Amino acid sequence: MRIVISNRRAAISKELYDFAERRVLFALSRFAPRIEQVLVLLTDENGPRGGIDQTCQLVIQLDRGEQFTIRQCEATVEEAVSRAADAASRMVGRSMAKRRDKARSRYVAAARNYADN
């Protein structure tokens, strides 16, 4: 799993980079064999004016071509990264469960056909 972190308007501090990388790794590490790349885009929508405008967008590319995008706006960048990472974990988990259930149902159907013959 490759993680790419960027900020559209300014340079990212080492602390923020490390935090975002650590948080995304923690949230998605159990799916690492199935994830090709995670792109983390950090932006400050209103600039220095303040408000709930810190945005974290995660673009997750899975091994079979599926792609998910999660966008979260919060008061701080750290909170936006944390919430986006949590949402990404839930979304990828649901996708893996659907994939697993689909494969399991095909196996059960094949076993029934074999038993009938």
pLDDT number for residue 12: 87
pTM of the model: 0.81
Both tokens of residue 41? 């885009």
Tell me which residues of the chain have a pLDDT lower than 50: none
pLDDT value of position 8: 76
What's the pLDDT score for residue 96? 87
* Among the listed residues 54, 53, 47, the one whose alpha carbon sits nearest the alpha carbon of residue 19: 54
Q: What is the arrangement of strands in the sheet containing 2-7, beginning at the earlier edge strand?
A: 2-7, 35-44, 54-62, 67-74
- Length of the chain as a residue count: 117
Question: Looking at the DSSP assignment, which residues form a beta bridge with residue 72?
Answer: 56
- Per-state percent for the chain, helix, strand, coil, to nearest 5: 55, 30, 15
pLDDT of residue 44: 86
Domains in the chain (CATH in brackets) are 2-116 (3.30.160.100)
Nearest Cα to 78, choosing from 55, 60, 58, 59? 55
Tokens 């706006």 map to which residue?
73
